[in-house]
Amino acid sequence: MSALPRHVPSSTTLHGAGWLRSSRSTGMNNCVETARPVVGPWAGLVAVRDSKNTTGPALLFAPESWEEFIDALR
Q: Domain for residue 14, yes or no?
A: yes
Instruction: Say if 2 falls within a structural domain.
Output: no
How many angstroms separate the CA atoms of 30 and 67, rounded?
A: 21
Q: How far apart are CA 61 and CA 53, in angstroms?
A: 19
**Is residue 67 included in any domain, yes or no?**
yes
Give the tens place of pLDDT for each residue, 21-53.
877 777 666 788 999 998 888 889 999 999 889
Q: Which residues in 6-37 are b (16+ Cβ under 10 Å) and which e? A: eebeebeebeebebeeeeeeeeeeeebbbbbb
Cα 42 versus chain centre, distance: 10
Pairing of the two strands 7-8 and 20-21: unpaired
Kindly state whether residue 24 falls inside one of the protein's structural domains. Answer: yes
Domain count for the chain: 1
Residues spanned by the domain of 56 = 7-73
Residue 40 confidence (pLDDT): 85
